[in-house]
Amino acid sequence: MQSVVLFGLGSIGVEIFRALYHNKKYKIAGVVDNNPSKVNQDAGLIAGKKRTGLKVVSKISEIKSNPDIVIHATMSSLSDVNNQISSIVRNRINVVSTCEQLVYPIGSNKKIAKTLDRLAKKYNVTIVGVGVNPGFLMDSMVLMLSSLCTKINKIKVERIVDLTKRRKALQKKMCLGRTPRQTRDIMNKLGHVGLEESAMMICDALNVKPKLHTKIKPIIAKHHIHSNGVSVRRGQISGIEHNLIAKNKGSEFLRMNLSMYAGAQEYDFVEIKGIPPLSIKTSGVNGDKATVSLLLNYIPIVLSAKPGLFTLNKLRIPWAHM
């Protein structure tokens, strides 16, 4: 039985806690969250379960046991979570994190990643960023499918998400129910954290040196939408469309589209034009629930890996540990 600490008890953290609580393979050794309203509260009650006796603490150093791994689930930006992850590593504990930018650090995040890699090796632990998107549907799965080809000319990746079926935090982040006027000044700062990371994971693996072009635009409701307790009126924002094109030597090599809006018909789609050509389409994957599953299924992979910071394309493929 592996001993697990949960770092972060937000909406995703609560789902992780519930999954761990019902899984006999893991023992919850502690819960960390620096939100003052949660500190010293019973983690089980916060998660909607019965009292567990596990009091939420504000620092990883307050965990008295010697856990095998920390499941870290707080923020999307690597710069925002750097100190949190560093503190876990200095306590000599392995880390699997939901931080989107940790899945495949690019740009200025490469410097932080290199520092974390050195720190992990110093303290003999492993760090991995894990997620459904980024981390699987729009990148790792694409690379696995590419192994069926001897030549690739162009790739198209599309993910459509119904926001009414997602957590409130994501709905708010995507400005659901607000007006275009209310979001005019911030629209270019929205979008999905991780789309560029997914594109670079694919391009780097396939030895393509791309120029990335991204565009984010709101999706305006054409009629009143009322579904799963969510209400969006005509003219209000029902979600966003985030597009990315990666060009190689002037020609389009990769096109990615992520649309998240209320009432969407969900699916995931990958098309590879090459030898042989292929395409695959799902009926939609619930990212929140699948992320929790991935985190748990990556625990044995992380625990068996060498020390350091790893991206998912450098580790063996995961499978369900029943």
Burial class (CB in 10 A: 0-12, 13-18, 19+), 274: middle
- SS3 state of residue 6: strand
Question: Which pLDDT score, from 0 to 100, does residue 189 have?
Answer: 63
- SS3 state of residue 313: helix
pLDDT at 185 > cutoff 70? no
Q: What is the pLDDT of residues 99-128, one digit of tens each?
A: 999 999 999 999 999 999 999 999 999 999
- The region, left, alpha or beta by phi > 0 then psi within -120 to 50, assigned to residue 46 is alpha
Structure tokens at 123: 């303290």
Structure tokens at 94: 């392995």
Structure tokens at 150: 């001897």
Task: Please give the single-letter amino acid code of residue 94.
Answer: N
Mean pLDDT for 261-287 is 96
Q: What is the CATH number of domain 2-130+289-314?
A: 3.40.50.720
Mean pLDDT for 81-99 is 98
The CA–CA distances, whole Å, from 181 to 16, 160, 175, 184, 192 equal 37, 25, 11, 5, 21
Q: Terminal CA-to-CA distance of the chain, rounded, Å?
A: 13
Rounded distance between C-alpha atoms, residue 77 and residue 97, angstroms: 12
Q: How many CB atoms lie within 10 A of CB 240?
A: 23
CATH architecture, domain defined by 140-284 = 2-Layer Sandwich (3.30)
Structure tokens at 151: 């030549």
Instruction: Name the helix (H) or strand (E) containing 131.
Output: none
Mean pLDDT for 223-252 is 92
Same fold, 2-130+289-314 and 140-284: no
Rounded distance between C-alpha atoms, residue 146 and residue 96, angstroms: 26
Mean pLDDT for 257-277 is 97
Mean pLDDT for 314-322 is 90
Question: Which pLDDT score, from 0 to 100, does residue 170 have?
Answer: 85
Mean pLDDT of the chain: 94
Is 73 within 8 Å of 19 (Cβ atoms)? no
Is 239 within 8 Å of 162 (Cβ atoms)? no
**Of 182 and 277, which is predicted with more confidence?**
277
Confidence of residue 14 (pLDDT cuts 50, 70, 90): very high
**Of 143 and 184, which is predicted with more confidence?**
143
Q: Which of 52, 194, 89 is nearest to 135 (CA)?
A: 194
Structure tokens at 68: 């095998």
Confidence of residue 230 (pLDDT cuts 50, 70, 90): confident
Task: Please give the single-letter amino acid code of residue 148.
Answer: L
pTM over 0.75: yes
Q: Domain spans of the chain? A: 2-130+289-314, 140-284
**Of 184 and 301, which is predicted with more confidence?**
301
Rounded distance between C-alpha atoms, residue 40 and residue 31, angstroms: 10
- Beta strand 237-248 with 151-162 is unpaired
pLDDT at 190 > cutoff 80? no
